[in-house]
Each structure stands twice: as C-alpha cells, then as structure tokens.
Amino acid sequence: MSGEILTERTGDVATVILSAPDRLNAMNLAMWQGIADAFTALDAADNLRCIILRGAGEKAFAAGADIAEFATERFDRDSAGQYGEVMAAALSAIQNCRHPVVAMIHGVCVGGGLELACCCDMRICGTASRFGVPVKNLGLVVALNEMQAVAGVVGRAAALEIVLEGRVFDAGEAMQKGLVNRVVPDDQVTAEAEATARRIAQGAPLVARWHKKFARRLAEPRPLDAVEIEESYACFATEDFQTGYKAFLNKEKPDFSGR
C-alpha cells in the first residue's frame, strides 16, 4: 500500500520503511504519525540492536512532505502548528530512540526527507542520491526543531546555505558537507547499509546506546557534571564487559547479552 510506515525485523535489526513509492515517499500526516509510533515501539524493544530507516523502492528515500496535503492539513497558522507538532514528534522519536539508527538513502532525499535522515545516527547513500531543502520556493519556513536536526549534522553555516539557496546537490557535495557518512555505488546501498547495521548489532548493545546518548549530550553547550561523567564507567558493571574483555583475551568472538 502507498502512504504507510512499515516495520520489518530480521533478528536484532529492524527496518522502518517509508512506503509511498507512487509519490517518491513524500510524507503525509499519517506517515509522520506512523514514524513516531514505530520508533516509540522499537525504542521499548530490549532485544533490538539497530534500526535501518529507508524509503520504499530505489528512487527515493523521501521527497519531503506531501504538498498535496497543504490545502487541507497546513493551510493556515493554526493548522500548520498542529501539523508541525506531529512532525516534531516523529523527528524526536528517531533522535531519542535508544537504539542506533542508520539511514539507507536511495535517490532523492529532500525537504522533510533530509530532516528525517539528519535525525538518524548514520547516513549511507548512493552516487546518484540528491539532497536539498528547497522550501524557499514554497514560501515555507523550516521550523526550529527541523533546522536544529540539519544544523546538528552539517553545522550552522552549511544548514543556512542549504535552506537559503534551496539548491538540490549531489552525493559528492553531501559528503563534503558531512551530511552523509558514506557514498557507495547505487547498487550497493542496500548491502552497505545492512552490513553497517550488522556491524553495529554485533557490538555490545548497552555500549551502543551509551555512545548514542553521550554524542547527543556533547552537542549541548552546558558543562558536563560529575554524575554524567560517572556514567562513563557504568559499563564496567555489566555482564557484557565481562564477556567482551574475556573473549578478547581468549581470542574468541564475544556473544553479548545486553545485560
């Protein structure tokens, strides 16, 4: 079906799919809500170790918000505010999910699609992928929380360039801006993103969750306090630490339990 959010599981890796291939996976209101619901549910899964976010098919990750909905869902200040709350919940659900999230980017990744990708922890795209936020042509402002997601990845200067010029740029420029972690041939995007997720899943899951939490905290300007620094050593009290270092000494592959 077109216009829904699908979730699949393969062992300890989940895949969330933006499914509206007939409109390049442009997001309608129900899909934004579906993203929030899917990631909230996945966040609660203790036996999960990584999540892949992708668009259906190989033409697009997501072509932003569905402009056809504007006449009924985002037609004035009040309705736009209500719509924005649903979008904000979706972006926040990805950012606050304790499990690492990898964006598998085929083709077009623009507007709200680029904002979704920026909420993920890693982004892998193909050589033909295209990026941008051309909302200046719609008379539309990128909301503060949406801009924050982009600026958090590429920095304030590059984020301003992206929204002020509204250009659609290629994968090479995206790599140069730090927008993506890796560019691979188009026919290898799926394999590389899945291999990345497997590498993450093979590590100690509590450690991955702590690293994600710490990276987000370091983006805040306030100084670290003693309690936060002390949390850096909580891993030494886990079963996974005992498993990991003993496996290393014995030249064995560790089998982490997530405890």
Residues 6+ apart with CB under 8 A from 53: 15, 16, 18, 94, 101, 102, 103, 104, 116, 117, 120
Domains of the chain from N-terminus onward: 4-201 (3.90.226.10), 204-249 (1.10.12.10)
Tens-place pLDDT, residues 109-121: 999 999 999 999 9
Tens-place pLDDT, residues 15-72: 999 999 999 999 999 999 999 999 999 999 999 999 999 999 999 999 998 999 988 9
Side chain identity at residue 78, one-letter code = D
Q: Tell me the mean pLDDT per 10 residues along the chain, length 259.
A: 88 97 95 97 96 97 92 90 95 97 98 97 98 94 94 96 97 98 98 98 95 93 94 94 93 92
The answer, as to whether pTM is greater than 0.85, is yes
CA–CA gap between residue 31 and residue 171 (Å, rounded) = 26
Structure tokens at 152: 């958090």
